[in-house]
Amino acid sequence: MPRSIYGAAVALVCLSGPALAEMTALESLGKSVFFDPNLSVNGNQSCSSCHDPDQGFSSPHGHFSENGAVVQGSVEGRFGNRKPPSAAYASFSPILHHIDDDGVTIVGGAFLDGRATGKKLGSATADQAQGPFLNPVEMALPHAACVVARVLHPADETAYPVSYAGVWGADAVFEIPASITDQCDDTDAQIEIGDDDLTARIDEAFDRIAISLAGFEKSDEVNAFSSRFDAWVAGTVTLSEQERRGFEIFEAEDKGNCAACHVLTPTGREQRAIFTDWTFDNIGVPRNRDNPQGPDYVDPGLGAFLKTDAVYAAYADDVIGAQQVPTLRNLNKRITPDTAKAFMHNGYFKTIEGVVHFYNTRDVLPRCDGDLTESEALAAKCWPAPEVAATMNKDELGDLKLSEAEEADLVAFLKTLDDE
């Protein structure tokens, strides 16, 4: 993507949302798109509906997180198959590529299965941004023309202090015929544009909207780097003794070894750690029996996507069930202390304590009889069978030999990663 397409004048804008910030016009437009519920078929779901800033840009829907963790889309009764991941810090993921190092390792992309590669728009985040608008189980608009029409001519212009024209120029604004937009309230409409020039303009505008949205998602507002950990690294706060012990466990190769995948190597803005290496792994998470796709649903993850890619199809079977390693930032950030959160791609885990105990004891405790929930498994001192067994990582977790106190220390450290 040419550098010039990202260019935008700097403007000081005051928007509704989590904070006031000085941001570029591009970022401001992207923020307006992010918070606009009109960009869904029923006008009831925005990007922020599943990626709430006060919940660490993850799902704010505690009633869903407590169970299947998958969020209902704009159309009542329609659900996808995965828990919404955090949008914070996701913009640092590189374009999907591979590393040849004792085998092929896939790195980057967006969505937990990497299918938004970044090869279309030069940004994995921008590629990903186009998906939810048109997904029938998410925002469910029937055609990109509907997204474009509603951004170019928003129902509430005050929600767009910087307009599409303000970023991309007045000549970039155009009209889409009512014969098309009148169908945008029907998620099942089969919209045909029938005009090559109009199709090209819609495609260009849809790409620009995604680039704007990605600009906001890469802004300081979404990636604040304002956690107590960051302040500790900067020397402005002191962590407790327990938190410091937890950090030592986190980085020690002979202890938690968490930093093997949730790397401390600086990879982000101002050379700060993102706490992920953007690779993919299957750690043996059990099925979530409350998944709206059914108790027997198995998520094929990266492997299913690679089967559709001629370059990587030969490697697909080795990574069935693998999901992208997430950032650990904002793990415990919540709207209120009582707002439920869920962890892992399928939301099986409801507590950070449970996640840490699983990493520590997955291969030590016996198999549960049946698909127990996290709380049931913890009470029974067992773990259910993995969702996908064949490709499970057996080398870096499962028997960490941490004591109960060391598990608590590690949890204490992980909770220092929430942005203030």
Domain 228-417 has CATH 3.30.365.10: no
Identify the pLDDT of residue 3: 24
Task: Kindly state the percentage of the chain with pLDDT values over 70.
Answer: 94
The CA distance from 401 to 206, in Å, is 51
Domain locations in the chain?
3-93+112-217, 228-417
> Which tokens sit at 181?
């937009």
Under-70 pLDDT residues of the chain: 1-21, 267-270
Residues in the chain: 420
Q: Which fold has domain 3-93+112-217?
A: Cytochrome Bc1 Complex; Chain D, domain 2 (1.10.760)
pLDDT at residue 208 in the model: 98
Neighbours of 151 (CB within 10 A): 25
Tokens for 154, please give them.
Answer: 């928003």
Looking at residue 1, its pLDDT comes to 26
- 401: nearest Cα among 366, 365, 361: 361
Whole-number pLDDT of residue 266: 80
Q: b vs e for 206-240, b when ≥16 Cβ sit within 10 Å of the residue's Cβ?
A: bbbbbbbbbbbbbbebbbbbebbbbbbeeeeeebe
Q: What is the pLDDT of residue 103?
A: 83
Predicted pLDDT at 268: 62
Is-same-fold flag (3-93+112-217; 228-417)?
A: yes
pLDDT at position 102, please?
78
Residue pair 132/47 in contact (Cβ under 8 Å)? The answer is yes
> Is there a contact between 344 and 59 (Cβ–Cβ < 8 Å)?
no
